[in-house]
Amino acid sequence: MAIITLTTDFGEKDHFVGAVKGAIYNELDDVKIVDISHAVSPFNVLEAAYILQNAYSSFPKGSIHLIGIDSELNPENKHIAVKLDDHYFICANNGIMSMICNEITPEKIVEINIHDKTSTNFPVLDVFVKVACHIARGGTLEVVGKVINDIKPIKNLNPFVNDDQSQIIGSVIYIDNYGNVITNIRRKFFDQVRKGRAFEISARSYKFKEIHKRYSDIVNFDIPEEQRQDEGRGLVVFNSSNYLEIAIYKSDLATVGSASSLMGLKMRDTVTVNFLK
């Protein structure tokens, strides 16, 4: 049974998600549809890329990932289908795929060219669904598009390192449901530049000199629970996806707040790591 996943900024209120699922089932009654997320911030390509990068590999090889973010066709926003890591991705060529392609080279990329067979202002429904179902039936990418070699990059996707390797300048690429702030600094890259040196991480006026293995590492469990005051404390970890993350322990926007709300951090804000000699 083919698996088709959906990642969109459609939300849950409108008819869009239901219409896309219905159109898929209308063509393939034995397919499995899985929602990755429909809560991506509107037109937020970077946010969608982060979610997809960290979700797709949990699915079986051969899965088809349909991505409905900023998908309106225009001369600067073509549609593509990509085979990468034995998975298939269908989306607009707007940078969404560049985060995944930054680490894994695509096996094949085609620019979708079946638009003359359909007239629509809802390409996810009328174009992406047809391509996904074609692939699910065992069809090849060349039938739905012409082979191309490059995809559009996301600007400032990678952190910057100064000439003497004493500083990494990264940026916020994602804010999760808990308000934790994820940067574009990955563990492997951090360790390569660090070379065992002490460091100081700066985000606005907040500074950290330690990266914890777990969120609960800041808790002193030798102190009786009623005497602890750890909720609401800031910390830094490498998260489960190995990205440097600034968090608040047991964050809750309704009570203790979050890293995003308390530190005033938002998408694209700068996070700096200074290595100490």
* Alpha-carbon 265 to chain mean position: 18
Containing 129, the helix (H) or strand (E) segment is helix 129-136
**Three-state DSSP state, 163:** coil
pLDDT tens for each residue of 16-68: 999 999 999 999 989 999 999 999 999 999 999 999 999 999 999 999 999 99
Domains detected in the chain: 3-147 (3.40.50.10790), 160-275 (2.40.30.90)
The answer to whether residue 266 scores a pLDDT higher than 70 is yes
- 88: which strand partners? 64, 83
* Alpha-carbon 36 to chain mean position: 11
Which segments of 85-156 are extended strands (E)? 87-92, 108-112, 145-148
The mean per-residue pLDDT over the stretch 216-233 comes to: 74
- 244: which strand partners? 238
C-alpha 186/C-alpha 73 separation (Å) is 33
- As a whole number, the mean pLDDT across the chain is 92
**What is the pLDDT, as a whole number, of residue 229?**
67
244 phi, psi to nearest 5 deg: -65, 125
122 phi, psi to nearest 5 deg: -130, 75
How many CB atoms are located within 10 Å of the residue 253 CB? 14
DSSP codes, 207-247:
EE---BSSGGGG--TTS-GGG---TT-EEEEE-TTSEEEEE
**What is the pLDDT, as a whole number, of residue 223?**
80
Prediction pTM value: 0.90
Surface-to-core class of residue 274, CB atoms within 10 Å of its CB (0-12 exposed, 13-18 middle, 19+ buried): middle
Q: pLDDT band at 82, cuts 50/70/90?
A: very high
Are the beta carbons of 237 and 215 closer than 8 angstroms? yes
pLDDT tens for each residue of 134-159: 999 999 999 999 999 999 988 778 99
The mean per-residue pLDDT over the stretch 255-264 comes to: 86
Which residues have C-beta within 8 Å of that of residue 241, sequence separation ≥ 6?
Answer: 53, 54, 182
More confident residue, 262 or 16: 16
Are the beta carbons of 11 and 39 closer than 8 angstroms? yes
C-alpha 264/C-alpha 273 separation (Å) is 18
pLDDT tens for each residue of 183-193: 999 999 999 99
**What is the pLDDT, as a whole number, of residue 69?**
96
C-alpha 214/C-alpha 218 separation (Å) is 8
**What is the pLDDT, as a whole number, of residue 228?**
65
**What is the pLDDT, as a whole number, of residue 116?**
78
The answer to whether residue 212 scores a pLDDT higher than 80 is yes
**What is the pLDDT, as a whole number, of residue 250?**
84
**What is the pLDDT, as a whole number, of residue 108?**
96
**What is the pLDDT, as a whole number, of residue 154?**
85
